[in-house]
Structure 1
Amino acid sequence: MSVDGWNTVLVLGGIRSGKSEFAESLVTDAPVVRYVATAPEGDPEDTEWATRLAAHRARRPGSWTTEETTEDPRRLADVLESAEPNEMLLVDDLGGWVTVLLDPDHQPADDVATIAELAEAIRGCAARVVLVSPEVGLSLVPTTPLGRAFTDALGAANRAVADACDAVVLVVAGQPVWLKSVATATEPSAPVTATEPSAPVTVTAPTAAATAPVVASLADTEPTPEVQLPDVLTPTPPAAPRAEPGNPWAAPTMALPMVSTGLVIQPGMELPMPDEYAGPQAVDRLATLDVPGAGLGVLDRVVGFAAATQGTSTPAAWGSVRVLLLHGDHAGGAAAGTVAGESARRAAQARAGQGALARLAAESGASLQVVDTPASAPIEDQPALAPEQVESALRYGWRLAEQAADAGVQLLVLGACGAGTEAAAAAVLAATAGAEPPAVLGRVITDSGEIDDAAWMIRCAAVRDALHRTRRSSRGAKDILAELGGGDVAVATGVLLGATARRVPVLLDGPVGLAAGMVSRDLAGQARHWCLLADHGGHPAVRLAADVLGLTPLLDLRMDLGEGANALVALPLLRSVLALSATLPVHPSLAGTDDTDPAVDEPESTDPSYADPDLTEPDSTGPDFVEPEPAGPGPASTGADEQPATGWRAG
């Protein structure tokens, strides 16, 4: 869509304007969609109305759930108030809701109070909501009392809902026109100053507007220094992809089958690999730079990784960075020891630009995108997700990476916050690497800093029971995600695959990203070569998964600020290393008349036309080969060697 950062949006339009189709396009690829139907069934003999309802039902994907509110208009407010943060609600439409509200069976009723109740429920709804409503203000005043009552009630409902929503769009002849954006939906008590964004998100609607970074005053009474908040983005599910020229999903980044429902993610995909020559060339080039001592040490791996992913021996520091924070809870024993609602508080904190992750993102100039993932069922009793939810979550994660690549993002930082994520990652490791749950489950630390061994044992038991339940199940990637991984691991796997397809490197941090890396091996083994691990954070699951994937942590900080935050702490250091390697000159002792960099010289040609004629056909009558005398001291010599054995230039 053309406005980022919304949580609730009202879609207005006239009859046959395309408002419902546009609203559906906003939620098509959301992981969890609940369709709230408000229209009454009508007269059984009205076949035309029945045909309309059937057409609406036929457009809904099978993974959507449907909720009816025709029996009681007040139930719509109850549905909104009870919605979960990981859900996407589509209410279609308020015209049907007002029709039921004015029905004599529901009278006498206080229509004004019911509408106010609905608006208040929208303001407090934890889920993302798209509401559809007819715009009746452009027609003539009805000539009947009932018609006037309907238009008055619907007009009042539209005004109240529009005031409660973050964004409002009017659809005219299939073309959306945004009437209210998030920038204009601020509360009077919290004034904000908008500035021009540096990297707006690529969107699907024709009009382009982006979420601006926010600069807010911390107090109204005293002048205080302004605090720069990160560019907080909200994921916008794009419309269903179409196999037509110019569609970003048809870009030649990979060879994948496409069907009418969208992208097909399947095992054995052939995705791009980093440049196998640029990485070693960049590391060799470091030995020629004017650096004292032994150079960059183990951080030369950062230069090699960046060079391989950028396809150049002189990689640049990552400029545009986006943090994807996946929020999704796991029910059952996996979440033992966690405080109820704590993960939702962390996600809301990040959305508000507060907390450690948001502050670190602001310091690094990175944008922050909080992504709600499907909630996972107790893995000890049943599969975490349904198979269709796994498919939707994989495609959703892929498209998040696509949106980042289209917005010019050069590095993704993948993190997660959710109850039970460590236990789910341990279950994935046990299924993919044969690990024992107690060996990969970290200790449970309470809010007061104490170790909760009882909660740790419950988590171990939940993982053990889940593995026993699935002992005869397939160990394919999608089966593991459905049975054990859950929504956040599935979305993270899709992000890794999508980033690989678009050649965007990913900085991993925490068990969820590493578990996704383990699962992605079965779908596309190339994905792990686009991943970098800054720090293991003291997590045993991260240590084991990194060892299996061949990802050596660059640092050993042992911080535990939450997934994503540890990587942002290391990001300035990694950027400094890349900037240093790209700008330092060649050491004077190695500078000569030949300007060619020895690390990137072309290999000698094997073409016979370039061969020395004296060497192409050796003379059989010549003397036998004689071993030449060494030019310097050999291994058995006691003389001093003039060059260090490591190959690095001496300081």
Structure 2
Amino acid sequence: ARLRARLPRQTGSAGALGRLEDIAVWLAVVQGGETVRPIAAPRVVLFAGDHGVAARDVSALAPGHTAHAVREAAAGGGAVGLLAGLHGAGVRVVDMAVDTDPALLPEAVTRYRVRHSSGSIDRHDALTTAQAEQAFQTGMDIADAEIDGGADLLVVGDIGVGNTTAAAVLIGALTGTDAAAAIGRGSGIDDATWIRKCAAIRDALRRARPVLGEPLRLLAVSGGADYAAMSGFLLRAAIRRTPVLLDGIASAASALVVQRIAYRTPDWWLAGHVTPEPSHAKALDRMALEPLLDYKLRYGEATGALLALPIVQAAACLAAELPVEDEKADEDAAPSLTKQTTPTDAGDAEADSTADDPWLTDDTAIEAGGEPPSPAPDAPPPAGPEAAGRRALADDAAGPRVIEYGGSGGGFVPGPGDDSGPAGVSTPTR
């Protein structure tokens, strides 16, 4: 509330920063303070896994795409590497169920692997209950490691063939949406592939509905190792009071499952963007999360969230660094009165004759709202030209202008062409 009241004083009017103000206030709340701390150490975590349902020919991506994308991202390449480097974010890739020989991937990537691919969810469970528990705990452990390592904002994304099918099943089951209304074109599928995908989701939804009341069991039946890990990651980040920027439909599906575990967890998340997948928008709506961007992206790998990251960073920077306008106005409006003398034709001697004038000492710089110093008790009032007033420059929004000090009425009087003194400055009298 304090930041919300302060922002108009920083920008000059209420709502001047639009939605950036909402983001700044959200950040202040999740950071646990009355002011915003700039985002200094964002971290991207990608959970990777293949899905057995892809064997039903529901994706336009070829087998082996996941392993290739994981190798590329782990090496700092691909879209995620470029965007993360652009915005100063570190990247971590976690293989949960990639269908490839682990020796072909870095050991740091494969150390948490639960299995080779997840089961085909239209006919089989994606995981055993024990595997789901292991993956969920892995996600929690990784969140702890990232937060303990200094991350102040987490970006969660996914890599995997068949992952939009699993996401549509989870979201469809949790929102009561049927198969045809839950799916889009995913990886860019044609009509025939869309029909096959719709049938696979229909069958998977039948298997998911009986376990809706058991979130971990739902992840085992209809999710996958990557979804279970993302769910544990999101839950632990909320427990650790660390903000998370969600990416696409996979992270939204995992978030929706976590909301079933702890209803207020979405308070710690921000939706980076919304994809063209219909079920993605349904999931965000159910969690009351408004996406920052709608660029029709379906690339995955946290690219949408990374495009939104500089918006969040900008909101934090502006709220933290913009000066309060009232204070700046006071500083700008305070006149600085300095002695100004103009040598006359009589020479420097006459110009220097004011040096001992008690009304024109260097101490006559007046603070805003203050009183000018009094002359010595026995000092005579100024005579001659000084009686008409002493001139000093005061800067304000209109530029320098002349203010006369003295004159017949005493105090500050407008200079030639002025109707009033500097804005925000009182006019003390002697």
- Aligned partner of 2:309 in structure 1 is 571
In structure 1, the partner of 2:139 is: 397
Counterparts of residues 283-302 of structure 1 (less than 5 Å): 283-291=4-12, 294-302=15-23
Q: 1:515 to 1:292 in 2, by over 3 A?
A: same
Residue type of the partner of 1:377? G
1:285 Cα offset (Å):
2.0
Gaps of at least 5 residues in structure 2 are: 98-116, 332-430
- Aligned residue in 1 for 2:256: 518
Per the alignment, residue 225 of structure 2 pairs with: 487
- Distance 1:472-1:502 versus aligned 2 partners, 3 A rule: closer
Partner of 2:29: 308
Rate the CA distance shift 1:534–1:523 in 2: closer, same or farther, 3 A. Answer: same
1:362 is the counterpart of 2:100: no
Cα separation, partners in 2 of 1:312 and 1:471, compared to 1, 3 Å = closer
Three-state SS of the structure 1 residue aligned to 2:196 is helix
Q: Is the 8 A contact 1:390 1:487 kept in 2?
A: yes
Does residue 549 in structure 1 map to residue 282 in structure 2?
no
Residues 497, 520 of structure 1: 8 Å contact kept: yes
Asked whether the equivalents of residues 43 and 91 of structure 2 are also in contact (C-alpha less than 8 Å), the reply is yes
User: Using the alignment, how far apart are the partners of 2:61 and 2:213 within structure 1?
Assistant: 29
For residue 334 of structure 1, report the CA deviation from its aligned partner: 7.5
Of structures 1 and 2, the one scoring higher in RCO (CA 8 A, sep 6+) is 2
CA distance in 2, matches of 1:293, 1:468: 50
Task: Give the equivalent residue in structure 2 for 1:144.
Answer: none
Cα deviation per residue 1:127-180 (whole Å; 9 max; x = unaligned)?
Answer: xxxxxxxxxxxxxxxxxxxxxxxxxxxxxxxxxxxxxxxxxxxxxxxxxxxxxx
Matches within 5 A, 1:491-502: 491-502=229-240
Distance in 1 between residues matched to 2:122 and 2:11, nearest whole Å: 58
- For 2:76 and 2:61, the matched residues in 1 are separated by 23
How many residue pairs end up in the alignment? 310
The structure with the greater share of residues assigned to helix is: 2
* Secondary structure of 1:289 counterpart: helix
Partner residue of 2:335? none
- Quick one: structure 1 residues 483 and 337, their matched pair in 2 at CA, closer, same or farther if it must change by over 3 Å? same
Query: Is 1:509 the counterpart of 2:247 in the alignment?
Result: yes
Considering only CA atoms, is the larger Rg found in Structure 1 or Structure 2? 2
Q: CA deviation at 1:589?
A: 8.6
Tell me, yes or no, if the aligned pair for 2:246 and 2:269 is still in contact at 8 Å: yes
194, 202, 216: which one pairs with 1:478?
A: 216
Which aligned pairs between 1:564-643 and structure 2 lie closer than 5 A? 564-588=302-326
Task: Kindly provide the amino acid, as one letter, of the partner of residue 274 in structure 2.
Answer: H
Q: Which residue in the other structure is 2:128 paired with?
A: 386
Report the Cα distance in structure 1 between the residues aligned to 2:171 and 2:187, rounded to whole angstroms: 21
Q: Which segment drifts farther, 359-368 or 331-340?
A: 331-340
- Displacement of 1:470 in angstroms is 4.2
> Deviations 1:247-290 (Å, cap 9, x if unpaired)?
xxxxxxxxxxxxxxxxxxxxxxxxxxxxxxxxx33223212213
For residues 392 and 345 of structure 1, do their structure 2 counterparts lie closer, same or farther at Cα, with a shift above 3 Å needed? Answer: same
What corresponds to 2:338 in structure 1?
none
Alignment of 1:125-144 (within 5 A): none
Cα separation, 2, equivalents of 1:334 and 1:316: 47
The partner residue of 1:331 within 48, 52, 68 is 52
* Separation (CA, whole Å) in 2 of partners of 1:566 and 1:472: 33
Q: Offset of 1:483 from its aligned partner? A: 0.8
- Scaled by the length of structure 1, the TM-score of the pair is 0.46
- Aligned mates of 1:409, 1:335 — CA distance in 2: 37
Distance 1:298 1:496 in 2: 24
Task: Identify the residue that residue 341 of structure 1 maps to in structure 2.
Answer: 64
Assess if the C-alpha contact under 8 Å between 2:173 and 2:205 holds in 1. yes
CA distance in 1, matches of 2:236, 2:15: 37
CA contact (8 A) 2:50 2:163 kept: yes
Alpha carbons of structure 1 residues 281 and 442: separation in structure 2 relative to 1, 3 Å: farther
In 2, the alpha carbon distance for the partners of 1:291 and 1:343 equals 50
Partner of 1:141: none
Q: 1:308 to 1:436 in 2, by over 3 A?
A: same
| Inter-CA distance 480–398: structure 2 relative to 1 (3 Å threshold) | same
The question of 1:442 aligning with 2:184 is answered: yes
Q: Percent sequence identity over matched residues?
A: 36
User: CA RMSD for the aligned pairs?
Assistant: 2.1
Q: 1:570 Cα deviation (Å)?
A: 1.8
Task: Report the AA paired with residue 347 of structure 1.
Answer: V
Normalised to the residue count of structure 2, the TM-score between the two structures is 0.68
